[in-house]
Amino acid sequence: MAAVGPSVFLLMVNGQVESAQFPEHDDLYCKYCFVYGHDWAPTAGLEEGISQITSKSHDVRHSLVWNFPIDVTFKSTNPFGWPQIVLSVYGPDVFGNDVVRGYGAVHVPFSPGSWFMGRRPEYTDPKVVAQGEGREVTRVRSQGFVTLLFNVVTKDMRKLGYDTGPADMLRVEGQGLTHGLPQ
C-alpha cells in the first residue's frame, strides 16, 4: 500500500512581545491578534492576548518591558493569506482613560528582517490594520517602537511543493514600528 503524503502544512509561531520605546508615554499595555486567509486555521495556542501594564525602566533607555509570550500553530493548504500579527498599544490619557497609543501589523516572518507598518489608531476593529483598503487616505505620525521576537517553524511545506529555503526552521528577531495619532 502506497503512503499518502500530507494534505496540509503547519506554521508554528512562538516568541514574545519583548519591549517598547514610547518617549512621550508611560504605563502601557499591548494587545495582539492574528489575521489570516480563508485557507488558514489555528490548531493550537492563542490567537489573541493582552499583556500586563508596564512602566518605563529607570535606566537611560526608559524601556517598557513586557516579555509577553506568543504561541500559536496554524495549518493551511496554501500560503496565500499568510498570517499577520496585529499589535495595539494602549495607555492612560490625562483623565486616566485607556486610549490607543499606536497600532502595527506585520506578516509572520518567513525570512529574516521584518518591520511593523504604521496605521491610524481610530479603527474600531484592530484587525483592519492588516488590510490595505483605505490606507491612501490615512495620515499618521510615529509614537514609538515595539520589539518582537519570533521563532517560526514550518512542517511539510516542502512535501507540498513549496520552497522553504535551506531549512524548515527559521529564527527571526524583528524590531517594528508602531504609528499613532493623526496629524
Q: What is the pLDDT of residues 107-153, one digit of tens each?
A: 898 765 565 554 434 455 666 667 767 655 555 667 788 999 988 98
Q: What is the pLDDT of residue 95?
A: 94
Residue 15 pLDDT more than 60? yes
pLDDT of residue 129: 66
Predicted pLDDT at 1: 62
Q: Find where cell 508596564 sits.
A: 54
Segments making up each domain of the chain, as ranges:
9-127+139-160
* CATH superfamily, domain at 9-127+139-160: C2 domain (2.60.40.150)
